[in-house]
Amino acid sequence: MTETASRPTLEAVAARAGVSRATVSRVVNGGDGVREPLVARVRRAVEELGYVPNQAARSLVTKRHDAVAVVIAEPETRVFADPFFALQLRGISKELTAHDCQLVLLLTEGRDDHARVGRYLAGGHVDGALVFSLHLDDPLPGLIRGAGVPTVFGGRPGWGDGTRDAAPAVYVDCDNRGGARAAVRHLVGLGRTRVAHLTGPLDQTSAVDRLDGFRDVMVDADPRLVVQGDFTPAGGERAMRELLERCPDVDAVFAANDLSASGALRVLREQGRRVPEDVALIGFDDMLPVAEQTDPPLTTVRQDIEEMGRLMARLLLSGLDRRGEAAGPAGTPAGVVLPTTLVRRASA
């Protein structure tokens, strides 16, 4: 696209307005420190010549901003409280930095702000988006489709049945269901018979998949042995208290993640239940240092969270690189599912 040479330059604007290049640049970038008559003169020249400032012109031609947005569909308070996100961002940051690509984290107070996130994504500020922690009824996936930016999801999106989206979403996930099965099988192998599950928030596919894995093994489980949590330590405490009231004879617990397991552990100790002697406990994530610093340290299902972040970024960047090619993004796999491993420590 060599036609860019015909695009009006900063110099042309400066000449038309009868001011210096520096003055044009200051006005275009906000007008600070330039007297009002000059500002008006420069703006008139900008309008008359149809001048487009550098970045917009460049991005119009190259379609590249060298920036990728990260959207975490949680309030900023949770983004900073849950080390899961910090780890995923670490992987993303390393990969983007290696490609001299700016990580643009869009923070929100809550779901009400997702329309604004959609506007920013649609506004031509980034080349693509990495989106995670989606909830089933979240408007974000629709807004992202509307924004038309290439996107890779962290965790399998919930609309993967083909009814809401023609093209399959590209995502990176871990084997939540298989990992859960391994955890529950381990508890059964210890001879435990009253095995419970503290779930994550069931509007997220990762929590649903882990519950499915639990049910794969505990086919005829007493429904009272499944209590809903929310992936937070406080949620784990609440769920564990409820579980002990419902089923005082519980002898094993699979918590949907390590943070909720750490909450459950506090309640078990408070109520005088020894872990693992009275109640065996397994978490999910192998979130360090949490999983190692609990007393006793947590047996858990390991997923490589940082690597998942890195892989999300890599998939997005390679998709962007391929966009000019005839093949298009057809070669991109719809979902990449990483394996999990059971890590044995003292709690089960």
Please work out, in degrees rounded to the nearest 5, the angle formed at the alpha carbon of residue 286 by the alpha carbons of 184 and 109: 110
Q: Is 37 in the site for a copy of itself (CB under 8 A)?
A: no
Closest to a copy of itself by CB, 53 vs 160, is: 53
Closest to a copy of itself by CB, 106 vs 174, is: 106
Among residues 250, 170, 184, which one has the least CA distance to residue 213?
184
Closest to a copy of itself by CB, 104 vs 247, is: 104
Q: Is 56 in the site for a copy of itself (CB under 8 A)?
A: yes
Phi, psi at residue 155, to the nearest 5°?
Answer: 90, 140
Is-contact 78 132, C-beta < 8 A?
Answer: no
CB 272, min distance to a copy of itself, A: 24
Q: Is 36 in the site for a copy of itself (CB under 8 A)?
A: yes
Select from 11, 20, 62, 63 the one that contacts a copy of itself (CB under 8 A): 63
Among residues 193, 208, 105, 191, which one has the least CA distance to residue 156?
208
Separation of alpha carbons 87 and 267, rounded Å: 27
SS3 for 195? strand
Separation of alpha carbons 260 and 151, rounded Å: 30
Q: Which residue has the tokens 């890195």?
A: 310
Is-contact 138 303, C-beta < 8 A?
Answer: no
Q: Is 31 in the site for a copy of itself (CB under 8 A)?
A: yes
Q: Is 117 in the site for a copy of itself (CB under 8 A)?
A: yes
Closest to a copy of itself by CB, 246 vs 323, is: 323
Mark residues 225-244: x for contact with a copy of itself by CB under 8 A, - for none: --------------------
Closest to a copy of itself by CB, 167 vs 219, is: 167
**Measured CA distances, 58 to 91, 149, 305, 328 (Å):** 29, 17, 35, 22
Among residues 77, 21, 85, which one has the least CA distance to residue 53?
21
> How many amino acids of this chain bind a copy of itself (CB under 8 A)?
65
Binders of a copy of itself in range 80-109 (CB under 8 A): 80-81, 83, 85-86, 89-90, 93-94, 97, 100, 102-109
Q: By the criterion CB under 8 A, which residues form the site for a copy of itself?
A: 1, 3-4, 7, 25-26, 29-33, 36, 43, 46-47, 50, 52-56, 59-60, 63, 65-67, 76-77, 80-81, 83, 85-86, 89-90, 93-94, 97, 100, 102-109, 113, 116-117, 119-120, 122-125, 147-150, 167, 323, 326, 329
